[in-house]
Amino acid sequence: MPDVEDTLTNALRRRIIDGEFAPGTRLSEISLAEKLGVSRNTLREAFRVLSEQGLVEHVPHRGVSVASPTVADVVDIYRARRYVETAALAAGSPLHPAVTAMREAVEQSETSLEARDWRTLGTANMAFHDAIVALADSPRLERLFRDIAAELRLAFLEIDNPEALHAPFVTRNRALLETFLEHGGPAAAAELQDYLVLSERTVLGAFTRLRHG
């Protein structure tokens, strides 16, 4: 949670994640600076930060565009997720404060599913995995996860079928939480492994369907 004060970067970040600028969109320095009411220099500094975070792509002399994850990116993101999340869960303690966040996220996702509110469902789903990573108490792993989760949201934006992406995993979230509490980290980690493989397959399926037909 570094720099809540970092207004411009965070504002841009939120707008990109919320889909205000579609993946692949070119972000012109001049027009965007004017639109946001900041100078080009200030905007360029924000661009550098977002570029390091993988949210925008910066090509010298060609400007920045909103990142548009490829299939390879999605594969890599899920590989990293499997490494980080399963390790965090396997070594996590059921007494860790993050468990509360996990429970709240599960309940929120169930509520959202019932209301068919796919937007908040997606957020709750991600909050669940965020809580899993928080079990590790590692700022650096949390930061990695924050960045790849943001990238993944961009991929979700392109697919634009949130129900298929998130709805099937609500019951799995609940089941995973119960496994963790009743049978411990290693058992839950094994379950999470399958969970993530399935999730990856879902995303990749929608992705290739999108690109080919």
Partner DNA sequence: TGGCATAGATTGTTCTACAACAACAGCCGT
Partner DNA sequence: ACGGCTGTTGTTGTAGAACAATCTATGCCA
44 binds a second copy per the rule CB under 8 A: yes
41 binds DNA per the rule CB under 7 A: yes
Residue of 186, 122, 116, 199 lying closest to 153 (CA atoms): 122
Lookup: tokens for 87 = 């390790």
Distance CA 142, CA 64 (A): 26
Which residues ranging from 44 to 63 are in contact with DNA (CB under 7 A)?
44-45, 58, 60-63
State which of residues 15, 26, 79, 183 lies at the interface with a second copy (CB under 8 A): 79
State which of residues 8, 74, 196, 204 lies at the interface with DNA (CB under 7 A): 8
User: Which residues, at least 6 apart from 118, have a Cβ–Cβ distance to it below 8 Å?
Assistant: 112, 162, 163, 166, 167
User: Which residues, at least 6 apart from 134, have a Cβ–Cβ distance to it below 8 Å?
Assistant: 88, 96, 98, 101, 142
* 57 vs 191 by CB, closer to DNA: 57
73 binds DNA per the rule CB under 7 A: no
- Closest contact distance (angstroms) between CB of 139 and a second copy is 6
Distance CA 93, CA 136 (A): 9
Distance CA 85, CA 145 (A): 9
Lookup: tokens for 52 = 């390091």
Binding mask 141-180 for a second copy (x = CB under 8 A): x--x--xx--------------------------------
State which of residues 1, 4, 30, 95 lies at the interface with DNA (CB under 7 A): 30
10 binds a second copy per the rule CB under 8 A: no
Chain positions contacting DNA, by CB under 7 A: 7-8, 26-30, 37-42, 44-45, 58, 60-64
